[in-house]
Amino acid sequence: MKLEIKNLAFSYDNNFRLEIDDFSIADSGIISLIGPNGSGKSTLLKIITSIFKDYSGEIYLNDKNLKKFTEKEIAMNVSYVNTYLAFKPSIKVIDVVSTGRYVYNKGFGILNRADFDKIEEALKLAEIHSKKDYYINQLSSGELKRALIARGIAQDTPVLMLDEPFANLDPKYSVKIMSIIKRLKKEKIIIMATHDINIALLMSDIILALKNGKIFFLFDKNNSFNIDKLSELYEVNLDLLRRVFLAGKFGENPALSRNCESDERLVNHCQKSDGLL
């Protein structure tokens, strides 16, 4: 699958304008969208999934203009996992995941054996199979996110969009979601909007930074990481925050009193992360 964006422009009534002149990815992998609130990350996801259609410019999937796709063709090529739940609390996990297969049947939500196999596979891959008969209001935040990701997996598309998959998760569930996404990257283009810079750096093949609706920088295998650019993106000295953290200055917490020189693991971390938290 190849994704190309050319001369994309989109604006809201509040005068926000998103402009992407040129961006493409020609292989499977993870693209992280980072940037301040209101920079256009979720907007870009919604344009690629055709939730927002009133844009100028071109988006191509395998050299075909997205505007020439039918809604069904889009749903068979791009799946979108949102941060909020558009389902009633009384619905079960397996029923939520099953909706990912509706695009493949001829109506009335009637699924065949192949659909149920895809649903079972998605439940297992997202590590939520044991909760498939739970109602969604019985799930924790992490379990709910995995159920929604399972729905995206069941849709079986070459492009998977994730909007803030790590929001409001503790480290345990963040690691679970990371593991799921890394397993999927071998066969899909995964584009995720996230505020977690560390996770983006750990997982991504490409990091695309947006600011004020425009590409601010791009990190990939041809562009080395630069903490100064990252600090400029968020308008905060991230290197200073890293140094304060490692020196144990947050509330003078004794548990943080170690520094890079006294702990080998932190020495290695500092060297590998180029100073990022």
Q: What is the DSSP letter of 236?
A: S
Q: How does 31-48 read in b/e, with b if 16+ C-beta sit within 10 Å?
A: bbbbbbeebbbbbbbbbb
Q: Give me the helices (H) in 54-103, please.
A: 71-75, 93-98
* Superfamily name with CATH number, domain 1-77+162-172+187-236: P-loop containing nucleotide triphosphate hydrolases (3.40.50.300)
What pLDDT, on a 0 to 100 scale, did the predictor assign at position 202? Answer: 87
pTM: 0.84
- For the chain (277 residues), the mean pLDDT of every run of 10, in chain order, is 95 89 91 95 95 95 95 95 76 94 80 94 96 94 92 96 92 91 92 93 92 94 80 85 52 39 43 43
Rounded to whole angstroms, the Cα distance separating 115 from 120 reads 9
CATH 3.40.50.300 segments of the chain = 1-77+162-172+187-236
Q: Measured between alpha carbons, how far is 226 from 237 in angstroms, rounded to an integer?
A: 12
Which one, of 80, 21, 19, 70, lies nearest residue 48 by Cα?
Answer: 80
Q: What is the pLDDT of residue 13?
A: 79
